Amino acid sequence: MKVAYVFTLLVVTIFARETSISYSVSLIRHLADQQHGIFDCWLYRIPDTAAGRDSTLEGLLSSSKLTSIPKRLMSFEASVIDRQPKLLLIFGGTFDADLMSLLNFVLKSDFDSSLKIIVYHQLSSKGFFNLVLNQIHLIFRTADLFNVIFIRTDQFEVLTTHQGTLKSRSTSNFTDIFFDRTADLNGLSVKISVTVSTSEAVFSTDYGDGRLIEWICNTLRHLNGTCDPHQVKCEGTDLEQCYHVARWYNASRLYDVTLDTLVYTEYLSNFLYSTIPDKLQVAAPRGRRLTAYELFAIPFRRELWIALTISIVLSYLLTWIRPNLFQNDPVLMSICGFERHDLNQVSRLEKITIISLIIVTFVLLSAYEAKLVAFMSSFPYAASPRSFEDLLQSGITVPVHERDSFGVGNDSRFAQVFKYSSATSVTYDSTQRNVGLLGTSQALRMAIKYTVNYDAYLQRSKFVILDRFAVGLLVPAYFVGRRNFLKGRYHQSEMAFMEAGLMDFWTRRNARRFFGTEFADHIETAGGEAEGNVLGMKELGPVCFGLIGGCSLSFVVFLFELCYFRTKHIH
């Protein structure tokens, strides 16, 4: 009788183990087919547990249906995980070892909250062993890992978690075998903090919410949740204290999302990394308005002015060395038309030389006069900076917080432009002509349109974004805490909103609402309608003074020559 009982128990155990293996293979294969991209399956054995668990582990490893799925056997806690697995298999047997090893494993390992976990055990769901199962379940809940199912291997049974309790599961299908907590949040309130009130993260204003607030709040509304944004003030506190205030809602609870854009060179699991990459760019003051003296110099390039100067100097040297070579002054004849002798009566060499100079000077003077007339209708400006070399030559500096050194803090050339500060917030004075801005492309496009940075007289922004220089590409990061179960939903909705054009729509909507009223007020304060960008007497004042001075000097020279020749004639 005892032999029959033992034989029956052995057969049942073997059959249950084979059933659990085949069921697991089918389940893993189903999950892999439903997953986009790489499906990594990791396996972990609880130390110091019974050896009977190895048959299930070896059966899964040797299954031909799972050969195409990448697998990794873990033997210790992975504190930092470079690539998150999609499925974790834990083999514990009867869990006769201390459960602290399991607790240390799930707490210290940097797994994502969306990780699906299958626990293989040999514990009954009744009596004392049910208490052990509930303790194991509590360990996963403490670690914020809720996608867990339990498979018993000695007597095949599947237990799933639903709303914090263990329930027996039918093995006929795999539909919704892992409970999705994000499907219905049941009015869950998500706390959001913002310390820097940028155009992307403003909320509760007459102009509408920023695109980051719209993104998070619309995602939560779709999931039957609510958002609760808070403006956190950091004035008078150091940087570390500001970080602490921005992340802690109270003494015992963190904010669920902090929408202060940060940039990190290494992956940190406590942060939500945006699916929309951006660029760190520099906005520099536009080129200054040229003076009236520079106005008469810019029609020709420096090389042409040098060539004309050399030609005039050589002409006078030639006439000084060979005074009988030309009867007329080549320079005055070709430019001013002053003629000492009739051009028909001079030598052939002089005719060819002066006629050639007349043609060249006529073309140059026509182009010069045409450009001056064009400048009278649109006053010229110096070229705006476009590259890093332009920033160096213009002496433009950009205030940057020391935490945003971007790995170039020790570069001497960058140190000439980027001035690092340890203040909580970096400010700038828009009235200074040699101070630029640093920020993301989205933020800079809004900043240069702000009314303080708008020149009503010229009807354009005072700043221009450098198109030939960027500090680098960046992926914005937002603090969401450890194992935030909504992180995947945020990623999906951000990509969906971006592809649908909603991110850009929210940005443009706020710009129209905000800058529309602000721009009208700014123009009215500036003195009504802009006067335009034309050349007036105010700009030509120095030229008029120069003309008067030249005429006065010419008159004095004329009087001197007149007196000189009259005195000479008398004598």
CATH of the domain at 495: 3.40.190.10
Answer whether residue 235 is part of any domain: yes
Q: Residue length, the chain? A: 571
Residue 5's pLDDT band, with cuts at 50, 70 and 90, is: very low
pLDDT of residue 536: 59
Q: Tell me: pLDDT of 325 over 70.
A: yes
DSSP run (H or E) holding 32: helix 2-34
Are 149 and 58 within one domain?
yes
Calpha distance 3→11 (Å, rounded): 12
Residue 493's pLDDT band, with cuts at 50, 70 and 90, is: very high
Calpha distance 212→259 (Å, rounded): 7
244, 250, 253, 255: CA torsion to nearest 10: -60
Tell me the residue range of the domain where 337 lies.
292-377
What backbone phi and psi angles, to 5 degrees, belong to 399?
Answer: -75, 130
Answer whether residue 561 is part of any domain: no
Look at residues 488, 51, 22 and name the one whose alpha carbon lies nearest to residue 272. Answer: 488
**What is the 8-class DSSP label of residue 424?**
S
Answer whether residue 538 is part of any domain: no
Calpha distance 206→513 (Å, rounded): 8
Rg of the chain over Cα atoms, rounded to whole angstroms, equals: 40
Q: Is the dihedral of CA 201, 204, 209, 215 positive or negative?
A: positive
pLDDT of residue 15: 43
Residues in contact with 493: Cβ distance below 8 Å, sequence separation at least 6, in sequence order: 215, 218, 219, 222
Q: Tell me: pLDDT of 62 over 60.
A: yes
Residues in contact with 415: Cβ distance below 8 Å, sequence separation at least 6, in sequence order: 409
Residue 163's pLDDT band, with cuts at 50, 70 and 90, is: low
* Greater model confidence, 511 or 147: 147
Rounded mean pLDDT, 69-97: 77
Are 144 and 79 within one domain?
yes
Are 219 and 86 within one domain?
no
Are 30 and 54 within one domain?
yes
Look at residues 256, 276, 238, 200 and name the one whose alpha carbon lies nearest to residue 403. Answer: 238
pLDDT of residue 37: 80
Are 85 and 115 within one domain?
yes
Calpha distance 180→425 (Å, rounded): 41
Least confident range of 163-172, 330-339, 341-350, 383-392: 163-172
The total number of structural domains in the chain stands at: 3
**Would you give the end-to-end CA distance of the chain in angstroms?**
162
Are 102 and 188 within one domain?
no
Q: Helix, strand, or coil here: 229?
A: strand
| Domain end marker among 119, 138, 169 | 169
CB atoms within 10 A of CB 20: 24
Q: Helix, strand, or coil here: 476?
A: coil
Are 257 and 325 within one domain?
no
* Greater model confidence, 529 or 19: 19
Answer whether residue 230 is part of any domain: yes
Calpha distance 491→521 (Å, rounded): 39
Measured CA angle at 325 (ends 321, 329), to 5 deg: 90
Q: Which two tokens stand for residue 327?
A: 């009867």
Answer whether residue 459 is part of any domain: no
CB 43 within 8 A of CB 76: no
Are 361 and 493 within one domain?
no
Q: Is the dihedral of CA 430, 433, 438, 442 positive or negative?
A: positive
Residues 440-461 have pLDDT tens digits of 887 788 777 777 777 777 777 8
CB 535 within 8 A of CB 372: no
| Domain end marker among 353, 377, 401 | 377
Residue 216's pLDDT band, with cuts at 50, 70 and 90, is: very high
Q: Which two tokens stand for residue 462?
A: 């005072």
Rounded mean pLDDT, 212-219: 91
Beta strands in 103-156 (DSSP E): 116-121, 148-152
Q: Helix, strand, or coil here: 360?
A: helix
Residue 530's pLDDT band, with cuts at 50, 70 and 90, is: very low
Look at residues 43, 41, 44, 119 and name the one whose alpha carbon lies nearest to residue 85. Answer: 41
Rounded mean pLDDT, 255-269: 74
Residue 285 gets the label, from left (phi > 0), alpha (psi -120 to 50) or beta, of beta
Q: Which two tokens stand for residue 319?
A: 């006439």
Answer whether residue 157 is part of any domain: yes
Are 32 and 151 within one domain?
yes
Calpha distance 100→139 (Å, rounded): 9
Q: Tell me: pLDDT of 172 over 70.
A: no
Residues in contact with 393: Cβ distance below 8 Å, sequence separation at least 6, in sequence order: none
Look at residues 89, 108, 110, 91 and name the one whose alpha carbon lies nearest to residue 100. Answer: 108
Answer whether residue 556 is part of any domain: no
| Domain end marker among 147, 169, 191 | 169
Are 125 and 26 within one domain?
yes
Answer whether residue 7 is part of any domain: no
Are 27 and 120 within one domain?
yes
**Buried residues in 496-535 as b, exposed as e (16+ CB within 10 A):** ebbeeebbeebbebbbeebbeebeeeebeeeeeeeeebeb
Are 348 and 229 within one domain?
no
Domain CATH code at residue 97: 3.40.50
Calpha distance 81→267 (Å, rounded): 9
